[in-house]
Amino acid sequence: MSPSLAVLREVFGYEQFRGPQAAIIDHVAGGGDALVLMPTGGGKSLCYQIPAIVRQRAGHGVAVVVSPLIALMHDQVGALHEAGVEAAFLNSTLTADEARQVERRMLAGEITLLYAAPERVTTPRFLAQLDSLHQRGLLSLFAIDEAHCVSQWGHDFRPEYRALTVLHERYAGVPRIALTATADALTRADIVERLQLEDAQPFVSSFDRPNIAYGIVEKKDATAQLLRFIETEHAGDAGVVYCQSRKRVEEVAAMLATRGLDALPYHAGMEAGLRQRHQDRFLREEGVVMVATIAFGMGIDKPDVRFVAHLDMPKNIEGYYQETGRAGRDGLPADAWMAYGLQDVVNQRRMIDESPAAEEFKQVMRGKLDALLALAEATDCRRVRLLGYFGEASRPCGNCDNCLNPPQVWDGTEAARMLLSTIYRVQQQSGISFGAGHLMDILRGKATDKVTQHGHEKLSTFGIGAAFSEAQLRGVLRQLIAVGAVAVDAQAFNTLQLTAGSRAVLRGEQTIQLREGVATPTAATKRRRT
């Protein structure tokens, strides 16, 4: 029996390795560098814990695990203690005395796995201690968890991770393993470059979570839609509802509570003690619905979360994937439900446009937002789209909303041209731009006060779009914004303007395909019926 398998059985009490674990563990225990991409629940922890134990037994000393989350460190160290493994953490929750004691044991090479936050690892004091271990051949391994945090292209950039390059430069011979559950091609390349992992062997698992059924709906009355979704599909189930702002978290939690649901708010603006109590209730009790900002979730391991709902659109697919990935860790059926609308697109665009970042960075962020929007507007299999984004080919899944209820598609190119010419004519006639509502009134031939006040009922485009519903026109507009054929000017009341990209649509070089906004049963209802 290999030493790794022996450790798996004796220390952790599991019979067999899962998926690529054996290959990763052998590679790292043998002194190689590795970049591990594995979905949540795939079993990443053992990929560095077992090499650490094997190498400690062979006399290589201490493994250092870099982790951004205190709660996660505590959980892991607690579980390792129970398994009889010498593990400890160094973080701000320790008193100075306790920290000194951990350091002493570490320097004596007595600790197998030492967990520390990135900002601690790169302090001169800690590096001096690592130097001492290294000189005596007692530095066995570096594990860098949540490695996507090193990339500004990822969805959770933490500048402290940048300083981790020092590990490679200073301790070149010590094996390193970097792990993440969410990284698209760009983020992956950035991890390799930033952490100097050019020579690391990549281990890429499938990102598919077959038990999660994806469904995305167009927002009409988002909170009512959410309530209907929970009441019909997930009465009594534990779930997470993600909202964009703290205010909205509070409102939605209160609304769900008045409807008899056990819903609790969670966001970074709440008092720490209350937030902790809500988290504890979510973990310990059954059927609690956590309404939260994205501050909630990382490092929270609750196996029976039956649904994750997004009431507002996240900023990119990596974030969406990471957040929906918290559903169904136990492998049983779970739902990922999202509602999105024009306002989401406008808001996200505005946040990018108004951020102080460099233009290059904004371009990348816009591209990532567009990819998410394309997923939302997709008329084919969501899973194929989602996995495709992470570079993985797959077949239609048969259990997402689009597979179960293929949406009707209509060609919105003509409507798009009408919209664009209206924006153009209004701008020409009045010398200023207008917002979406006004433009739609003109198109649909509604002589509102504002329309007549500006003489817009005299425009040649007045009423030419009367055949389209407002919802249809909003869909068209969403697409136009997504493909960059219309710009939203956040500095001027979200008015709409033509862009260089408008021309391709006006000339008919680019078509606009839309899904018919029909109310279809969600994946789970259909599953239950069949």
User: Where does this chain bind Zn ion (CB under 5 A)?
Assistant: 381, 383, 397, 400, 403
3-state secondary structure of 66: strand
Q: How far apart are CA 192 and CA 198, in angstroms?
A: 6
DSSP string, 284-349: HSSSPEEEE-TTS-TT---TT--EEEESS--SSHHHHHHHHTTS-TTSS-EEEEEEE-HHHHHHHH
Query: Rounded to the nearest 10 degrees, how much is the dihedral formed by the CA atoms of 498, 502, 505, 508?
Result: 110
Region from 13-21, 195-203, 426-434, 502-510 binding ligand ADP, contact rule CB under 6 A: 13-21
Q: Whose structure tokens read 């690529």?
A: 20
Region from 16-24, 148-156, 371-379, 434-442 binding ligand ADP, contact rule CB under 6 A: 16-24
Q: Residue 383 or residue 456: which is nearer to Zn ion going by CB?
A: 383
Do 239 and 355 touch, CB atoms closer than 8 A?
A: no
- Pick from ligand ADP, Zn ion, none: which does 403 bind, CB < 5 to 8 A by kind? Zn ion
Tell whether residue 18 is a contact of ligand ADP (CB under 6 A): yes
- Pick from Zn ion, ligand ADP, none: which does 381 bind, CB < 5 to 8 A by kind? Zn ion
Footprint on residues 26-85 left by ligand ADP (CB under 6 A): 38, 40-46
Whole-number minimum distance, CB 30 to ligand ADP, in Å? 19
- Pick from Zn ion, ligand ADP, none: which does 14 bind, CB < 5 to 8 A by kind? ligand ADP
Q: Residue 383 or residue 417: which is nearer to Zn ion going by CB?
A: 383
How many residues make contact with ligand ADP (CB under 6 A)? 12
Whole-number minimum distance, CB 386 to Zn ion, in Å? 9
Tell whether residue 14 is a contact of ligand ADP (CB under 6 A): yes
Q: Strands 513-515 and 409-411, how do they pair?
A: antiparallel
Residue 187, number of CB atoms within 10 A of its CB: 25
Distance separating the N- and C-terminal Cα atoms of the chain: 46
Whole-number minimum distance, CB 394 to ligand ADP, in Å? 20
- Pick from ligand ADP, Zn ion, none: which does 40 bind, CB < 5 to 8 A by kind? ligand ADP
**Nearest alpha-carbon partner for 196 in 178, 222, 212:** 178
Footprint on residues 463-522 left by ligand ADP (CB under 6 A): none
Do 180 and 137 touch, CB atoms closer than 8 A?
A: no
- Pick from Zn ion, ligand ADP, none: which does 383 bind, CB < 5 to 8 A by kind? Zn ion
Phi, psi of 373 (to 5 degrees): -65, -40
Q: Residue 155 or residue 383: which is nearer to Zn ion going by CB?
A: 383
DSSP E strand stretches across 67-194: 87-90, 113-116, 139-144, 176-180
Whole-number minimum distance, CB 163 to Zn ion, in Å? 42
- Pick from Zn ion, ligand ADP, none: which does 397 bind, CB < 5 to 8 A by kind? Zn ion
Whole-number minimum distance, CB 212 to ligand ADP, in Å? 14
Do 290 and 240 touch, CB atoms closer than 8 A?
A: yes
Binding region for ligand ADP (CB under 6 A): 14, 17-18, 21, 38, 40-46
